[in-house]
Structure 1
Amino acid sequence: MGEEDNPQIIGVPDDLCSRAGMSVTWRTGNKLCVFPHKHVNAYSGDKRSNFHPCESRVHFLRPEVNLFSPTLRKLVNESNGIFLSIRNINGTSSEEVRPALVKHSKQYRSILRACVESLQDAAEKSTDEKPLLENFLTIFYNVECVWHLTEILYVDTLPGDVVLPQLLEWVRFHFPSRELEAIKILAKKTIGAELENINYWDAVRGCALHGKLDVVRALLSLHTKADHPAFVTADNVLKTMPIYNVYGGYSVNEFTMRWKHWQMDLVSNLEYKAFMIDHNLEELMRLVVGEDKILWEFAKYAEAWYELVAAKLFYSSPCCKQAELAHHANYIAEKWPTGRNLDHVILALMEGDLHKVIQEIQYMNDNGWFAAHLTDLLFSCEKLNIIDKDQTNVTAQLHESLILDYGSTLFGHSSLWQCGASYLEHCPTQGLARLEILLQSIPLGTEARIQKLLNVARNNSMTNVVSSICKIQGIKCIRQKRLGNALAWAIKAQDGPFATYIADQFLKRYAENGELECREMLENLGAYMLTSDRLTFLGKYCEFHQMYEIGEFKEAARLLVSLIISNLTPKYFWSILLIDAIPLLEAEDVILSSEDTFILMRCIEEHGDDPKFQDKTEIFRLAAARNLARALNSEGCQAEQ
């Protein structure tokens, strides 16, 4: 039954919503925003609201995600590893790929079985969450049951497509109660077990339905009349019954001939009333010979209709192939009330209707885990072939859609979003577009999470996402007056305009208080200073200070002149460069050449009108004139030599 058939009513505890009305809008991550809203139209009239002023609230609603429960987190993480491992399977033919896919299918079942066992343990120990855990237990027990059958019918198929051997194993594994009862009886080793244990014949019939003939023989050997010819004959019948084995050395035709001879002998014994000594024994032999009437009389000893399917095949059609399974399954299912979702899924599997299987398993309330992973496995096995009503093959679209939905669901959890990202990365059509949107919806939070977000974005070449995250963090740092961190974020984003803005903040603060912040970082920018022209200017200016402080005046002068002629200097910083040049002009040794001095003199003519430099103008001109004279004299002497 779909959820639309049983809608859930959710109350919104908001008085304003009840008085004014409310509206709903979608939000990222399958969330709904509910808020007070007075509905108006063209005829409502333009008048002041009766609800003004008021305090309004926005309520966020989202479906409950079972997978976010701590008890299911291990399942999510481990299945993600298997999903990614399937992507790495290499092979040129289906014969090479199939063994690897069988292995991965069994790994999926293994983690499902571990999940079921952990839920059982948790449910036994818990009191408050017991109903919830038992609900999870039912869901994932059914999931594992369906997965096992899917593996038998579509992944790990036997040569010749004979289904009975594995189908019997599946039934025995999922319905062990009769065999467990038989083990209790056998453990006592008491002759006359039918007198001592009222469940004796129930255990015999249940084991017979599952084809456990060795257990049936062992139980019959404990009967009071075990030495009677009727029981001896029955034991011999069960002992000699041919059991088909793919690797037994017989072809299907040879086995069928042997089996029919054995069946004719049993029919003859029944006709001659060989088992009349005990009514229960005779009924058992009639089941073994394949009588349909007795099969239905034994139905009360079965928990599900598919137990009867396995019994019918075992005693009537032991070499049944997968293509014939649908006929037998429908024959049994039509006479058995199949109202559960699990029954519909199993019948669809036996009918080979994988489209219906995928539709039905989406109602299992596992938040898409099952549909996504099972469909992915079947798609990898090339077993899916979904045709829509327009006769268009939509297999690839369906496959991607289910993975998209599951991956998007995981983005609703604070730590599972990385798993979700790995699913979206493997959706070739819409995955990266969806991933880009969802990455930007995640609250940034801690530094570790931010780095994870950036890694995912970079690995998928999402430069816009990287830039957006870094800019948000950079702006936060600016507001906290941490310019060094802000610059680091701008560099990570390779965002030129943002780096320019932050470099400007460094330069303006220096212009105001004469102190260059984060010197160590600025001195080690290296190639990162090329992120923007302004950052290049800041890096080179910091380098100028470094050279000046260690006494490398000629190198400092070279850097200063290069900054002046580079046209990178912001307008508000010209006066500072000119002031920095004065000590170099007045140095005892000639540091600035005549050409450099002419450059500085032209610079003061163009930019010396800054009010901050007015009191330094005469000093600069005098220092420049003296340096020019000394430089010309020095250069003239060098020329004569």
Structure 2
Amino acid sequence: MPGRPLDALVPSGGQGQGQCAVYSVQHGLLTHPPSRISISVRWARGNCLRIAFFNKLPPCEEEDEASEMISQQATSGKVLELRLGSAEVDDAEKRRLSYASAPAFALLQSHKQLMMTSKDLISLDWWEHVMEFSRSISTILGSTRDDSSPVGQNSSMLKQIPEDDLDYWDGVASALAVGWLDFAVTFLRMHGSYQLDQLDNRQTENGLVEAVAVLILKMPRMRPSLPASGLGQCFNLKPDFVKAWDKWRGQVAILDCSAFWNECGHHETMRGLKRLIRIMLGDIDTLASVTCHWMELLISHFLYIRPFAMALEGMLSLSKKCIQLKSPAADKQLTELILGIIGDDIEVILAECSQIFDSWMLSHMIELLTAKSFQAELLLHDEKYSLGGISLQELHRLVYAQVLSSHSFTWQIAPIYLASCPRQGLGFLEILLLRQPVAGDNQLALKVLEICRLYELDAVGKSILKIVGMHHWKHGRKGAGIFWLQQARDENRLNAIAEHLLGFVGKSVSDDAFQQWEGLIDLLGSENEAAGGLAFLHKYRDFKKALRFVQDARSNETNNQKVTGAARKAVSSLMQLMRNPSTPQQFWISLLHDSVELLKWPDHALVNVAETNLLLSKLQEFSLARVRGDFEASKSDDSPQILQQVRLALATNLGRAILLE
């Protein structure tokens, strides 16, 4: 409750030292006999539980000064505030805020990019997007308004005649001063004159109380609508509001001058109602006396003294006057921040926010500051040499992104904020992605690659593919390694792997080493220009399969045409290999030796004159290279018998081909 009731709350034992705070309170409540103690348990703001103890000793028979002092002490109580859980926001809650606010921030940035590329959008549209962003963040943070009072809403604990207690009238006046109309009306109608046994004797008094309550109910409010429990009359247009306000203020003045006050026999009621009327008439001394905080006094000014004020007109000077009257000793930083907001002083706002809030708040509130303030836009978007050529806006986002990047649970939402930093954001994003331990985690690698795709970081994506591919290859997962390197189109590493594989590939159809690697070669595909040397392995595999098929056909097939067709396919595969510059030279003699059967085909020559001359030239080059020592050939392929056998087969085929042509 604002005003006097809270002014009586005095911390005992030092507030803020732990999770408990104890306050003394003068309550003026009547406890039920035979118990002399009443207890009220209420949830307060956030995770705070309020437990109020109220005691009342029986009246002393002797009304001396000492007994009166004891009675005053006995009617005091204690309010215990117990914070359940940590007072600070824990890590889990911070992560929840981070994940919940990231979509709203990303949506706002997408709208900004759309505005920069489209000329049809106007500033009003951007302001609507900012307000939607603000509402989203507000929903994420949740409502922190505490509508409960220290005593709670247990009206049965109130005195049967509350109007005799000055604290009762102080509470109603404080609530009315800050616009808690529903609270004021509710407690006014708890007045003792509403009781059936009092109604006949206190008709005039009850009529005055009800008249004040009705005036409070009909107080004009210039706003589109009110909540379900809100009181007052709403007006959208200023002329209608001015007319209704003058009429309502006139009714209040008429009641203030009414002759019925002379017939009111209860002094405390007349005094309390008169103070409520002075509040509604905007008496500055009364407003100052019933409010305890400068913000309450400021609100009462705009409710009853300056109801027609628009926006922030004269609000800063009025706020400073209210601070002088109330002079807050605590929350100095918050007061300076509020004054900066009221005075539209962006530098003060940023300075105070940097001291009060963390990086999450700073990175999300900037859009609200720059939405309709040209000065704020210049200050926050101006690139400063002292900051390394970046703006204050980018600095706060980089700091928040660094906080997100430092935790394994939140690093994946850091790119959203880094991408909104035009100067250094993408550079830090590349560093963040390259530092992820993707080598042994395919799921993490896929996540990083998806981020690279979204932000068009092709170079980083290729580096990630290479890292994962080489990790698989070094740990014996050859097929997975080749797959990732193919995705990266890393010709250098694939060619190096091809050279490594060539030492294990067999030189004949029956070689077990070739069959061991044949499944790995199948991963290369039929057309893979990016594979470099690995393309030879695929073609070599096809040639081996063709030879195997020819041997099987000659053993099982009776149709000579089908056998000859299979042989021609094997010859075609042979010529592709011999014409391909990527075919290693040390494999030429092996290919020619495996093709002797094709060169000696019984029916007719399968290799024409031009193709035979090409094979002879390859054989000659191989012989010269072997003499020069350009490579180390296999002993089985390098034997004179094999070379002689290949030369004889080529010469025989050449003669048959010449005769055929």
> Normalising to structure 2: TM-score of the pair?
0.67
Change (3 A) 1:411 1:549: farther
The one-letter amino acid of 1:93's match is: I
Cα offset, 1:491, TM superposition: 0.9
Cα offset, 1:270, TM superposition: 5.1
Q: Given the alignment, which residue of 82, 98, 106 partners 1:84?
A: 106
Q: Given the alignment, which residue of 161, 164, 185 partners 1:192?
A: 161
Report the equivalent of 1:131: none
* Cα distance between partner residues in 2 of 1:75 and 1:258: 44
* Cα distance between partner residues in 2 of 1:357 and 1:235: 41
* Cα distance between partner residues in 2 of 1:181 and 1:287: 24
Report the equivalent of 2:48: none
Does the CA-based 8 Å contact 1:358-1:375 persist in structure 2? no
Q: Given the alignment, which residue of 367, 373, 377 partners 1:376?
A: 367
Does the CA-based 8 Å contact 2:381-2:393 persist in structure 1? no
* Cα distance between partner residues in 1 of 2:300 and 2:219: 14
1:440 correspondence with 2:434: yes
The one-letter amino acid of 1:536's match is: A
**DSSP-derived class of the 2:308 partner:** coil
Change (3 A) 1:489 1:518: farther
Report the equivalent of 1:107: 136
Report the equivalent of 1:468: 463
Change (3 A) 1:546 1:633: closer
Q: Given the alignment, which residue of 263, 288, 310 partners 1:321?
A: 310
Cα offset, 1:112, TM superposition: 1.2
**DSSP-derived class of the 1:515 partner:** helix
Does the CA-based 8 Å contact 2:472-2:478 persist in structure 1? yes
Report the equivalent of 1:605: 620
* Cα distance between partner residues in 2 of 1:459 and 1:570: 41
Report the equivalent of 1:564: 578
Cα offset, 1:403, TM superposition: 2.5
**CA offsets 1:280-306 (integer angstroms, 9 cap, x no match):** 333333333222333332233xxx543
More helix by share: 1
Does the CA-based 8 Å contact 2:353-2:362 persist in structure 1? yes
Report the equivalent of 1:483: 478
* Cα distance between partner residues in 2 of 1:425 and 1:237: 56
Report the equivalent of 1:333: 323
**DSSP-derived class of the 1:554 partner:** helix
* Cα distance between partner residues in 1 of 2:381 and 2:129: 32
Q: Given the alignment, which residue of 489, 492, 497 partners 2:487?
A: 492
Change (3 A) 1:245 1:386: closer
Change (3 A) 1:478 1:190: same
The one-letter amino acid of 2:450's match is: N
Matches within 5 A, 1:555-594: 555-586=569-600, 588=602, 590-594=605-609
Matches within 5 A, 1:319-468: 319-324=308-313, 325-334=315-324, 335-366=327-358, 368-379=359-370, 381-383=371-373, 385-386=375-376, 397-444=391-438, 445-468=440-463
Report the equivalent of 2:220: 242
The alignment yields a C-alpha RMSD, in angstroms, of: 3.7
Change (3 A) 1:296 1:548: farther
* Cα distance between partner residues in 2 of 1:293 and 1:86: 47
* Cα distance between partner residues in 2 of 1:181 and 1:528: 82
Cα offset, 1:516, TM superposition: 5.4
**DSSP-derived class of the 2:391 partner:** helix
Q: Please, which runs of 5 or more residues in structure 2 have no aligned partner? A: 1-87, 115-119, 195-202, 226-233, 551-565, 627-631
Cα offset, 1:441, TM superposition: 1.8
Change (3 A) 1:370 1:575: farther
**DSSP-derived class of the 2:220 partner:** coil
**CA offsets 1:580-606 (integer angstroms, 9 cap, x no match):** 444443555644333333222222222
* Cα distance between partner residues in 1 of 2:651 and 2:90: 77
Cα offset, 1:92, TM superposition: 1.5
Q: Please, which runs of 5 or more residues in structure 1 have no aligned partner? A: 1-65, 117-140, 142-173
Report the equivalent of 1:252: 238
Report the equivalent of 1:554: 568
Does the CA-based 8 Å contact 2:586-2:633 persist in structure 1? no
Answer with 1 or 2: which has the greater Rg: 2
* Cα distance between partner residues in 2 of 1:68 and 1:550: 70
Cα offset, 1:69, TM superposition: 1.9
Does the CA-based 8 Å contact 1:210-1:310 persist in structure 2? yes
* Cα distance between partner residues in 1 of 2:322 and 2:591: 94
* Cα distance between partner residues in 2 of 1:480 and 1:239: 79
**CA offsets 1:172-195 (integer angstroms, 9 cap, x no match):** xx24234x857433x789963446
**DSSP-derived class of the 2:319 partner:** helix
* Cα distance between partner residues in 1 of 2:526 and 2:427: 32
The one-letter amino acid of 2:147's match is: P
Does the CA-based 8 Å contact 1:579-1:616 persist in structure 2? no
**CA offsets 1:461-511 (integer angstroms, 9 cap, x no match):** 323322322222233223223222221121121112111112222212226
1:531 correspondence with 2:530: yes
Point out the more displaced range, 557-566 or 511-520. Answer: 511-520
**CA offsets 1:13-52 (integer angstroms, 9 cap, x no match):** xxxxxxxxxxxxxxxxxxxxxxxxxxxxxxxxxxxxxxxx
Change (3 A) 1:218 1:474: closer
**DSSP-derived class of the 1:363 partner:** helix
* Cα distance between partner residues in 2 of 1:236 and 1:210: 18
Cα offset, 1:533, TM superposition: 2.5
The one-letter amino acid of 1:593's match is: N
Cα offset, 1:254, TM superposition: 5.5
Does the CA-based 8 Å contact 1:534-1:568 persist in structure 2? yes
Change (3 A) 1:540 1:343: farther
The one-letter amino acid of 1:420's match is: A
Does the CA-based 8 Å contact 2:536-2:583 persist in structure 1? yes
Change (3 A) 1:485 1:619: same
Report the equivalent of 1:135: none
**CA offsets 1:250-269 (integer angstroms, 9 cap, x no match):** 74356346535644664576
Matches within 5 A, 1:58-73: 69-73=91-95
Change (3 A) 1:375 1:579: farther
Does the CA-based 8 Å contact 1:511-1:576 persist in structure 2? no
Report the equivalent of 1:621: 644
Point out the more displaced range, 89-98 or 397-406. Answer: 89-98
The one-letter amino acid of 2:536's match is: F
Does the CA-based 8 Å contact 1:182-1:219 persist in structure 2? no
* Cα distance between partner residues in 1 of 2:380 and 2:521: 64
Report the equivalent of 2:175: 207
The one-letter amino acid of 2:354's match is: Q
Cα offset, 1:448, TM superposition: 0.2
Q: Given the alignment, which residue of 217, 220, 227 partners 2:188?
A: 220
Cα offset, 1:372, TM superposition: 1.4
| Percent identity for Structure 1 against Structure 2 | 22
